[in-house]
Amino acid sequence: MSVKKTTLLFTALLVAAPFLSQAATQQEIDLALAPVKTNADLQQLLNSASPLDALEQHVFQFVSSVKFSKKGQQISFDKELLESNLSATEIYKILVLFGQQSSISQYQNALIVTDTDKLLLTGSSLPFCNAADPIETSVTLDKNKQAIFGYAQSGVVCDGNVELTENTTITYVLVPGKKSPKGLRLVGAGFTNPFDGHIEKVTVSSDGQSIQLENNIENSGVSKYQFILESEENDLLLVSPDPQVVNKDNKPPM
């Protein structure tokens, strides 16, 4: 290995070290090791062959859509442009550049050409969300008018589920997008078993853009629930997949 490559590897490990020492999530590690964190990094990337080449004539349109936060911890870009023109594998390679490869499962409209494409879209595992912070909830319609739910916190994708060790109020907040159903709003939540004592109270905001679930940690185990939403698209109600709360039993062994 050359001295230059060794230095770069050592630098990357130094950058990742603080995250690793604090039991960092995989997303934080991916971000720490991402080669593109600033606009300068992105411009330099354009001077050589890279996964961005798969975008062909759309590459500059994509580059112009990339936005970096001041601290470099949040990076946004035109996801629809990727999904409309690339296979899942091609998208994954681009996401790696920005440390966002764990979000590949959200690109369900990507082209599926190989078994790898299929595996990327169906076999990705996401971490629990942090119940201490609001969980950003997105709902988008794919080309077949199927609703796709996604969850994230501060730009980091999570699976919508939470794991608790104390009484907590879990908050989900709707984040509208270009492909979201028009006039989407929350109206409540349904439960697989509303009598298990995990969630004791559900409160929906007056504008229907957030929902809070008050949890009782005294009852250990798993409770599954589904969000119920309405929109201006039609008079039917939309039901989400099953987020869940996991109450961990932290009682010391006898």
pLDDT tens column, 142-197 = 767 878 888 888 877 788 899 999 999 999 999 998 889 999 999 999 998 899 88
- The pLDDT assigned to 119 comes to 76
pLDDT tens for each residue of 67-79: 988 665 678 899 9
| Best CATH choice for the domain 135-247 from the list 3.60.21.10, 3.40.50.11540, 3.90.1150.10, 2.60.40.420 | 2.60.40.420
Say how far apart CA 232 and CA 248 lie, in whole Å.
39
**What would the DSSP string read from start to end of 183-243?**
T-EEEEEEES-TTSSSEEEEEE-TTSSEEEEEE-TTS-EEEEEEEEEE-SS-SPPEE----
Q: Both tokens of residue 217? A: 């940690």
> Can you give the pTM of this predicted structure?
0.58
pLDDT tier, 10 (very low <50, low <70, confident <90, very high otherwise)? very low
- The residue ranges of every structural domain in the chain are 34-122, 135-247
Q: Both tokens of residue 116? A: 């790898």
Whether the CB-CB separation of 150 and 157 falls below 8 Å is answered with yes
User: In whole angstroms, how far apart are CA 87 and each of 50, 58, 94?
Assistant: 16, 14, 11
**Residue with the larger pLDDT of the pair 220 and 252:** 220
User: In whole angstroms, how far apart are CA 235 and each of 5, 29, 147, 183?
Assistant: 59, 44, 15, 12
Structural element, H or E, at residue 17: helix 3-21
Burial 181-211 (b: 16+ CB within 10 A, else e): beebbbebbebeeeeeebbeebebeeebbbb
To 10 degrees, the CA torsion angle through 135, 61, 86, 32?
-50
pLDDT tier, 250 (very low <50, low <70, confident <90, very high otherwise)? low
Contacts of 144 (CB under 8 A, 6+ apart): none
Tokens 């109206």 correspond to: 187
Locate the DSSP E strands across 144-194.
147-153, 156-158, 162-164, 169-174, 185-191
Residues facing 26 on adjacent strands: none
Structural element, H or E, at residue 8: helix 3-21
Phi and psi (nearest 5°) for 37?
Answer: -125, -15
Tokens 């060794």 correspond to: 6
